[in-house]
A and B are shown apart, each in its own frame.
Chain A
Amino acid sequence: MDLVPTSIKLAAPGGVAITWNDGHQATYSYAYLRKKCPCATCRDKPPEVKTESDPFPILGKGPIKVTGAAQIGHYAIQFNWNDGHTTGIYSFSYLREICPCEQCRMKS
């Protein structure tokens, strides 16, 4: 069976919550997901990810957050971030590979 998400909640408590067609569930924190961006630029130079609130929120954009997402074909999802980044196409198999839940981390 091909592992594909059945539901992706962008604003779940703690980040992006993904439910898979095999019943697996996990929540990816925004910072973790942003750091794992698979686009060429981020792979070359890992992005600086702001996790704390800005002391002067009027100047910055606050902690990293997903602002939107779109499915790409049958195989991937593209996230839009509040730091303006949009070029990361996360294939379903990559998302599953980087699943942050304890069970998956133990396996790898």
Chain B
Amino acid sequence: MGLFKKDEAVKESSILEALRIVNDPDLNRDIVSLGFVKDLRINDGNVSFTIELTTPACPVKDQLKAEAQSAVAKLPGVTGVEASLSFKVTSKISPQAKALIPHVRNTIAVASGKGGVGKSTVAANLAVALMKFGAQVGLMDADVYGPSIPILMGASEQPQVVGARIIPPMVRGVKLISMGYFLPKDEAVIWRGPMLHKMIQQFLGEVEWGELDYLVIDLPPGTGDIQLSLCQTIPLTGAVIVSTPQDLALEVASKAIAMFKKLKTPILGVIENMSYYVCSHCGQRDEIFGHGGARKASQKLGYPFLGEIPLSSIIRSRSDGGEPTALDEGDSQYAKVFRDVASAVAAQVSIANYNAPQTVSIE
């Protein structure tokens, strides 16, 4: 302290005041009133603090850190600034969810109206990408008719049953459960509604999910029993809609959107899969299903557009081989595509939690 005159000493209040100019663009508030600034330490002119983000996949984390550092560095008397990042995934747990999955912070359903748009591929890569960012992630394959998640994830371990609880295997860093585990290879699920309802309840309540930041739920196509049961059993954090850019798929996707709207399940946004094809020989981009259909549709309906994923033989062969592309490190272009989509989804989850209405009090 002796180096400065008293009026030049750096005060906590003036640092917090300076940090108020740093805005989280997603939540549209400054990081001080959001309570993101933690562990503020002042040692003479050296200031250090942590910015606690709402997700490790925050798309603007580096920007926030740089803005915060420069805001504080400008203050008189400050000689050094050390900002670090941490994260605590936010959540809005309802009494219903608490009874079934008490330690799962967020539930994200991956849905589409039409089948064959790559919903499961997107769900698997979304889960892996969120895990790679450092989140604790589970993946529930609720597509009982065509459980493809175990193949996509290359799962060889089986779930364990301990007492009345099912312990999901950890596959590529993600806790996984699927009907595929409980069914011989050539058998099919031919069930009526009540059985499907029971399965959803068991996959939530009897599986030992433990502590998760995100539980990604891969739904079957359509707007049937499984979708309804899931939306009734727990209030989902939100749903993401997967569509190809073609009019036909978008037409059916709008049915899924209408269903979630009716059930008041927040729609986190739309992901466009098979957006374009890049020829592996000449590199020419071919827009097989048309251009930007899902982006236009999401904008028209007022939902965020979460990104486009190309049609690629690499993604296809890695999916069939059970090694999701999102596992790749560094500058793999397809891993980056999924990382960006996961960031966009995680940002929307934070926004949904921030805007979530109060739960109804029933007494």
Hey, which bits of chain A sit against chain B, CB under 8 A? 2, 4-10, 21, 69-77, 89, 92
CB distance from A94 to the nearest CB of B (A): 11
| Residues from chain B with Cβ under 8 Å of A10 in the complex | 362-363
Give the complex CA separation of A2 and B95 in angstroms: 21
Q: Are B265 and A6 closer than 8 Å at their CB atoms? A: no
Give the complex CA separation of A6 and B360 in angstroms: 5
B13 interface residue (CB < 8 Å to A): no
A-B contact list, 26 entries, CB within 8 Å: A2-B264, A2-B357, A4-B360, A5-B360, A6-B358, A7-B361, A8-B363, A9-B363, A10-B363, A71-B235, A71-B359, A71-B360, A73-B231, A73-B234, A73-B236, A74-B235, A74-B236, A74-B263, A74-B266, A75-B231, A75-B262, A75-B263, A75-B265, A76-B232, A77-B360, A92-B264
Give the complex CA separation of A77 and B362 in angstroms: 10
- Residues A21 and B232 in contact in the complex (CB < 8 Å), given A9-B363, A10-B362: no
Q: Assuming A10-B362, A69-B362, A70-B96, what are 9 further A-B pairs, CB within 8 angstroms?
A: A7-B363, A21-B357, A70-B362, A72-B232, A73-B96, A73-B234, A73-B264, A74-B265, A75-B231
Give the complex CA separation of A5 and B233 in angstroms: 19
CB distance from B101 to the nearest CB of A (A): 14
- Residues A75 and B264 in contact in the complex (CB < 8 Å), given A4-B357, A21-B357, A70-B96: yes
Q: Which of B266, B358, B360: most chain A Cβ within 10 A? A: B360
B94 interface residue (CB < 8 Å to A): yes
| Residues from chain A with Cβ under 8 Å of B235 in the complex | 71, 73-74
Interface of A is mostly: strand
Give the complex CA separation of A2 and B357 in angstroms: 10
CB distance from A15 to the nearest CB of B (A): 14
- Residues A74 and B362 in contact in the complex (CB < 8 Å), given A4-B357, A21-B357: no
Closest 8 CB pairs of A and B: A74-B264, A75-B264, A74-B235, A73-B231, A7-B361, A75-B263, A8-B362, A73-B232
Contact count band on B: 20 to 34
| Residues from chain B with Cβ under 8 Å of A4 in the complex | 264, 357, 360
Give the complex CA separation of A64 and B226 in angstroms: 33
| Residues from chain A with Cβ under 8 Å of B94 in the complex | 71
| Residues from chain B with Cβ under 8 Å of A92 in the complex | 264
Within 8 A of A (CB), among B339-363: 357-363
Give the complex CA separation of A72 and B231 in angstroms: 8
| Residues from chain B with Cβ under 8 Å of A74 in the complex | 231, 235-236, 263-266
Q: In the complex, which of the residues A7, A69, A73 contacts B263, with contact meaning CB atoms closer than 8 Å?
A: A73
CB distance from B240 to the nearest CB of A (A): 16
Q: Are B232 and A7 closer than 8 Å at their CB atoms? A: no
Q: Are B262 and A8 closer than 8 Å at their CB atoms? A: no
Q: In the complex, which of the residues B95, B265, B361, B362 contacts A73, with contact meaning CB atoms closer than 8 Å?
A: B265
Give the complex CA separation of A16 and B241 in angstroms: 37
Give the complex CA separation of A61 and B157 in angstroms: 54
Give the complex CA separation of A16 and B262 in angstroms: 24
| Residues from chain A with Cβ under 8 Å of B95 in the complex | 71
CB distance from B360 to the nearest CB of A (A): 5
